[in-house]
Amino acid sequence: MSQTLFYLLVGAGLWLLGLHGLLCLRQPLRRIMAVNIMGSGVFMVMLALAVRPDSPDPVLQALIVTGLVVAASATALALRLASADRDRAQKTAEEGE
């Protein structure tokens, strides 16, 4: 099995692990991490394709750099949404008492 193929499979494995986590975990933080792991799997697949020894592909690498920054900003927004949701749930619970 070549190096490219191996890392392609690792990427697919990461994506599937993330999907499993997303399906069965309830805690918002863990779900956000699960989505991030799925994203890492996608990046891994792209990178394994981008660094093939016969034809290294700068376009894919540039796309991953872009993707990394976008993923980090999306994570920041998601975390803020999660804590906003928790705050609101707490507030309604307090009002209900």
Query: Site residues for other proteins, window 25-64 (CB under 8 A)?
Result: 25-30, 32-34, 36-37, 40, 43-45, 47-52, 55-64
Min separation Cβ 49 and other proteins, Å: 6
Min separation Cβ 85 and other proteins, Å: 9
Q: Which residues contact 4 (CB under 8 A, 6 or more apart)?
A: 48, 49, 51, 52
Min separation Cβ 95 and other proteins, Å: 17
Min separation Cβ 89 and other proteins, Å: 10
CA-CA distance, 93 to 91, in Å (whole number)? 5
Determine, following the binding rule CB under 8 A, whether residue 94 of this chain makes contact with other proteins.
no
Q: How many residues are present in the chain? A: 97
- Annotate each residue in 63-92 with x if it binds other proteins (CB under 8 A) or - if it does not, as one string: xxxx-xxxxxxxxxx-xxxxxx-xx-----
CA-CA distance, 85 to 31, in Å (whole number)? 14
Q: Between 80 and 92, whose beta carbon lies closer to other proteins?
A: 80
Q: Which of 33, 18, 65, 32 is nearest to 46 (CA)?
A: 65
